[in-house]
Amino acid sequence: MTSHAPPADTRQLTAKLSTLDRYLAIWILAAMALGLALGRLIPGLGAALDSIQIAGISLPIAMGLLVMMYPVLAKVRYNETGKVLSDKKLMITSLVINWVLAPAFMFVLAWIFLADLPEYRTGLIIVGLARCIAMVFIWNDLACGDREATAVLVAINSVFQVFAFGALGWFYLQALPSWLGLPTTSAEFSILTITLSVLVFLGIPLIAGYLTRTLGEKTRGRDWYEDKFLPKIGPWALYGLLFTIVLLFALQGDNIIAKPLDVVSIALPLLVYFLVTFGASMLIGRALRMGYARTTSLAFTAASNNFELAIAVAIATFGVTSGQALAGVVGPLIEVPLLVALVYVALWSRKFFPSINSAKASA
């Protein structure tokens, strides 16, 4: 992964990227295509991948997610997270965007674009309720965001997710539609599924990353840890990302290929959601003078969604072949390549920030 010391401009930063980082968008598209091809060419592959699950997610995919998250969380300077927690402006802004504005915006988009498609509409609303937890670390790291801020914001979102997901699901699927005279959807969300998702996909890599940094610095010093150890494990975050994408699309490829027009119908509101949420968050962060690094963390945590949890909840509640599950699967189909593109948008936008504080997140 690249260094976070701010270069003079985006072109200099791009030149310093490894081949893996520089052509990530191409690798991701290739991983999607490979996954779709494997799902079509190997009968029974999806069933085999899904035969063993952890926290409602296929075990191989779960392993890919853990490999993806560990190196990024090992880079976090945990002794500096207290400074983030004391930033009340960042904390309050993130909570309002993630748990008030973003779910409400997704609800509006779902009803505008999918009013006559209740299964997809419900699935889209569930995606909007599943706040970031995993891939946001990758996007933030590539865009030179504040690692400590991202770790804290994801942890807070995870706690809220355990306690708020079910209540917000009831509100947006039953209470609010009823008040507006719209059709309602009955859904019982498993608190156990949500809690396990948070504990497994955040808890395990978070503990591993914390112990690795603590023990590494204690035994060999910070210079060795950050200059020698981190560069060796850094690429594994992207290896895990690509592995996860291949398996995810191999698992759900039939649904995507069999219903291309439905995929387009679901993709349109998702495209609007990611672009507007990211852009609005960047503008809000700049207006509040948060600086580039923390604004970037704010924007990516707001625009990213925990599609792993959304898919798990949709499958557990409505079934693996349901329209709700398909809506969850289309989430990463749109989110992954789009947020890679937004990494470059974020880097380009640095010139509009009066003070660039991305040096806080040193490699």
Q: What CATH code is carried by the domain that includes residue 15?
A: 1.20.1530.20
Is position 4 within any domain? Answer: no
| Interstrand relation of 53-54 and 57-58 (parallel, antiparallel or unpaired) | antiparallel
Residue 71: pLDDT band by 50, 70, 90 thresholds? confident
What are the strands, taking DSSP E only, across the chain?
53-54, 57-58
What confidence score (pLDDT) does residue 56 get?
Answer: 64
Percent of the chain predicted with pLDDT > 70: 87
Cβ contacts of 1 within 8 Å, gap of 6 or more? 18, 21, 71, 72, 75, 141, 142, 230, 234, 235, 237, 238, 363
Q: Are 1 and 235 in contact (CB under 8 A)?
A: yes
Tokens of residue 116, six digits: 């006559």
34: containing domain: 10-360
pLDDT tens, position by position, 303-323: 988 776 787 777 777 776 678
pLDDT tens, position by position, 229-252: 988 988 888 888 888 888 877 877
Tokens of residue 295, six digits: 């604004």
Q: Please state the pTM of the whole predicted model.
A: 0.78
Is position 5 within any domain? Answer: no
Query: Which residue bears the tokens 């402006």?
Result: 89
Tokens of residue 90, six digits: 């960042």
How many folded domains does the chain comprise?
A: 1
Nearest Cα residue to 343 out of 140, 197, 146 = 140
Is position 2 within any domain? Answer: no
What are the C-alpha distances in Å from 189 to residues 123, 132, 163, 360? 13, 18, 12, 39
Is position 108 within any domain? Answer: yes
Estimate the crossing angle of helix 307-318 against helix 147-170, to 10 degrees: 20
Is position 15 within any domain? Answer: yes
What confidence score (pLDDT) does residue 320 get?
Answer: 65
Query: Which residue bears the tokens 């933030």?
Result: 140
Cα–Cα distance, 34 to 253 (Å, whole number): 10
Is position 114 within any domain? Answer: yes
355-361 average pLDDT score: 45
Q: Whole-angstrom distance between the N-terminal and C-terminal Cα of the chain?
A: 8
pLDDT tens, position by position, 250-292: 877 777 777 788 889 999 999 999 999 999 999 999 999 999 9
CB neighbours of residue 163 within 10 Å? 12
CB neighbours of residue 319 within 10 Å? 11
Is position 292 within any domain? Answer: yes
Cβ contacts of 303 within 8 Å, gap of 6 or more? 274, 277, 278, 281, 339, 342
Query: Does 54 score more than 80 pLDDT?
Result: no
Amino acid at 130: A
Give, in degrees to the nearest 5, the angle at Cα 146 between 225 and 222: 15
Nearest Cα residue to 267 out of 101, 110, 119, 130 = 110
What confidence score (pLDDT) does residue 1 get?
Answer: 43
Nearest Cα residue to 69 out of 233, 205, 226, 216 = 205
Is position 116 within any domain? Answer: yes
Query: Does 146 score more than 80 pLDDT?
Result: yes
